[in-house]
Amino acid sequence: MAKLVECVPNFSEGRNKKVIDAIAEAISSTEGCSLLDVDPGSSTNRTVYTFVGSPQAVVEGALNAARTAFPLIDMTKHSGEHPRMGAMDVCPFIPVQNVTMEDCVNCANIFAQHLTDVLHVPVYLYGEAARKENRRSLPSVRAGEYEALSEKLKRTEWAPDYGPATFVASWGATVAGARKFLVAYNINLLSTKEQAHRIALDIREQGRSKDQPGLMKKVQGMGWYLEEANIAQVSTNILDFELTPVHTVYEEICSAAKDLNLPVVGSQIVGLMPLRAMLDCADFYIQRDRLFIVEEEHKVRLVISKLGLDSLGPFVPKERIIEYMVERTEEDKRLVSLSLQQFVRSVGARTAAPGGGSVSAAVAAMGAALGAMVGQMTYGKRQFDSLDSIMRRLIPPFHQAMNELLVMVDADSKAFSRYMAALKMPRNTTDEVKRREAAMQEGLKQAVAVPLSLAERVNLLWPCLKEMVIYGNVACKSDLQVAAKALETAVFGAYYNVVINLKDITDESFKVTTQQRASALLTEARESANAVLDTAERKK
């Protein structure tokens, strides 16, 4: 998987379209950068840009954006609802795929150094990149905002981490950093700005003071009035949505608003939102309201409805959820994205991959899909009302397995590719020969691990399939018979992919243990498939 870092620079310009577009163009024209979202705000006079790319590309993209903004934004004339201290106010780097937080800290430092080299402006580090504890929090660094910056720079304790301690009036200062994914989330109220801020003070972690902390960890908040929509908002930054989920913030603010007899009229995501955060919200409402929803698309729709995310404008998941955006912007070479015709032809081509391993995973996914289908053909029908609770329990495991097994279609080909890459390593010296051999052995073990995990995942479905064949719609009996043979065939294919790769592994202990495990999985699959087929034969 490619290394992907997200960069979300916030610029202090939300009204001048020419400036907003020029900065966007600077980012999108940077090689290796994919601009995902541009979110301007007139009242805040601020625009949030979201783009992804390799660590090197996003640093260059952020620098190009800053260079473009430098002659176009004049902080001496800036005003807006949002706190700020610079033209490029904040520039965080966030890990997305195959990168660590340390990689993002490195991005922040490289960016800060280059920015000061090019523009000669002061830069502070915050978040995971902070060098001092009192600079970890963005509000702490930004305290006093632009208006207090000239005096702040004169104080030794607030010397910038990079660049001169000199007040550049037109620019101010930039805060660069590394952090987890931040969800910028605003809740709409028909109220005054002061009432919204009162609620914000109660819920944000900082609270009203050290003696009066707020209710929610890792949440920043303030109240403001959104002139263009003629509503107030409790504006929050959720710094850790796993610790404090989005739905928790929404429900708490709804409760506080109710106590004040204030109506909540939806909410707003600024920028992008992680899929995991959306699904966590969905799971909360599904459990609370005792709903039965398994499709990811339906879960996303539920959250849009429950939170009123489309209250100020359309919320298009493919344009607002980062995983969906990344899928759209990356050249998609996944096997599972091919049409069935293309996939079959790629298997039949004169190439070693995709081969039996990928086919086994595809067959397994279809077997799981048949199990889910029979459940859906039973659930919600009047003649099977008494079985609804059973189907609610049996359908989700098949649906989840179907999605996980689809991922394994590509995993097998990728594992084989890693082994082939090891074969091509140089072997001109003794050290090179050793490195090549070690890489080959590691590649073979990975090539064994993938089909072994496939067999293990498939075998988890047998208890559900044994129940489904008892309770499922009798008209779908043949579908369950096909499902049983598909799942057994998948384990059969996985077994022989394990065996063929084991023969070249030199670790004898690993070979014995793995062979025993693979044999046991194949036996379990055969016995379970026969049990399902026997039950199906007796079912009338």
Give the 3-state secondary structure of 220-274: EEEEEEECCCCEEEEEEEECCCCCCCHHHHHHHHHHHHHHCCCCEEEEEEECCEC
Question: What is the token pair recorded at 483?
Answer: 């499902």
Do both 500 and 355 map to the same domain? yes
Instruction: Read off the pLDDT of each residue in 268-295 and give the average, rounded to a whole number.
Output: 93
Q: Which residue type occupies 426? A: P
Instruction: Read off the pLDDT of each residue in 350-372 and give the average, rounded to a whole number.
Output: 91
Do both 195 and 168 map to the same domain? no
Mind listing the pLDDT tens digit for each residue in 470-509?
999 999 999 999 999 999 999 999 999 999 988 888 888 8
Q: Which of 156, 178, 200 is the last residue of a domain?
A: 178
**Distance (Å, whole) CA 28 – CA 112:** 20
Do both 202 and 56 map to the same domain? no
Look up 410 and say whether it is catalytic: no
Instruction: Read off the pLDDT of each residue in 311-328 and give the average, rounded to a whole number.
Output: 86
Task: Choose from 321-325, 327-331, 470-474 the range with maximum mean pLDDT.
Answer: 470-474
Cβ count near 356 (within 10 Å): 17
Going by pLDDT thresholds of 50, 70 and 90, the confidence category of residue 1 is: low
**Distance (Å, whole) CA 405 – CA 412:** 11
**Distance (Å, whole) CA 225 – CA 310:** 18
For the chain, what percent of residues have pLDDT higher than 90?
A: 73
- What is the per-residue pLDDT for 324? 84
Q: Which of 303, 328, 353 is the last residue of a domain?
A: 328
- What is the per-residue pLDDT for 13? 96
Instruction: Read off the pLDDT of each residue in 346-360 and give the average, rounded to a whole number.
Output: 86
Mind listing the pLDDT tens digit for each residue in 172-192?
999 999 999 889 999 999 999
Do both 342 and 459 map to the same domain? yes
Could you give the number of structural domains in the chain?
3
- What is the per-residue pLDDT for 419? 76
Per the residue annotation, which of 82, 197, 247, 399 is the catalytic one?
Answer: 82
**Distance (Å, whole) CA 234 – CA 514:** 56
Q: Which residue type occupies 509? A: S
**Distance (Å, whole) CA 286 – CA 13:** 40
Start-end of H helices in 424-476: 430-459, 462-471
Query: Which residue segment(s) compose the domain that 282 sits in?
Result: 183-328
Q: What CATH code is carried by the domain that includes residue 42?
A: 3.30.990.10
248 vs 409, higher pLDDT: 248
Do both 50 and 144 map to the same domain? yes
Q: Which of 403, 399, 370, 406 is nearest to 292 (CA)?
A: 399
- What is the per-residue pLDDT for 431? 85
Do both 350 and 416 map to the same domain? yes
Mind listing the pLDDT tens digit for each residue in 88-140?
999 999 998 889 999 999 999 999 999 999 999 999 999 999 999 999 999 99
Are the C-beta atoms of 234 and 221 separated by less than 8 Å?
yes
Residue with tokens 């072997």: 427
What is the Cα 102 distance to its own chain's centre? 18
Instruction: Tell me: pLDDT of 331 over 50.
Output: no
- What is the per-residue pLDDT for 329? 55
Look up 82 and say whether it is catalytic: yes
**Distance (Å, whole) CA 307 – CA 186:** 10
Q: pTM score > 0.85 for this model?
A: no
Q: Which of 199, 238, 196, 215 is nearest to 81 (CA)?
A: 196
Instruction: Read off the pLDDT of each residue in 158-180 and give the average, rounded to a whole number.
Output: 96
Residue 42 buriedness (CB in 10 A; 0-12 / 13-18 / 19+)? middle
Do both 388 and 520 map to the same domain? yes
**Distance (Å, whole) CA 122 – CA 116:** 7
Residues 6 or more apart in contact with residue 344 via CB below 8 angstroms: none
Do both 246 and 351 map to the same domain? no
Residues 6 or more apart in contact with residue 176 via CB below 8 angstroms: 90, 91, 92, 93, 108, 111, 112, 115, 123, 124, 125, 126, 129
Q: Which of 148, 147, 192, 186 is nearest to 44 (CA)?
A: 186
Question: What is the token pair recorded at 245?
Answer: 């989920």
Please report, for residues 52, 103, 249, 317, 453, the alpha-carbon distance to residue 254 in angstroms, rounded to integers and kept in the order given: 34, 38, 9, 24, 45
Do both 40 and 77 map to the same domain? yes
At residue 121, what are phi and psi to the nearest 5 degrees? -120, 155
Mind listing the pLDDT tens digit for each residue in 52-92?
999 999 999 999 999 999 999 999 999 998 999 999 999 99
Q: Which of 139, 154, 178 is the last residue of a domain?
A: 178
Task: Choose from 206-220, 401-415, 422-436, 461-475 the range with maximum mean pLDDT.
Answer: 461-475
- What is the per-residue pLDDT for 407? 85
**Distance (Å, whole) CA 69 – CA 54:** 22
Do both 324 and 350 map to the same domain? no
Q: What CATH code is carried by the domain that includes residue 251?
A: 3.30.70.670
Per the residue annotation, which of 161, 280, 412, 479 is the catalytic one?
Answer: 412
- What is the per-residue pLDDT for 410? 83
312 vs 425, higher pLDDT: 312
- What is the per-residue pLDDT for 332? 58
3 vs 130, higher pLDDT: 130
Beta bridge partners of 188: 233
Do both 456 and 357 map to the same domain? yes
Question: What is the token pair recorded at 100?
Answer: 């660590």
Are the C-beta atoms of 99 and 55 separated by less than 8 Å?
yes
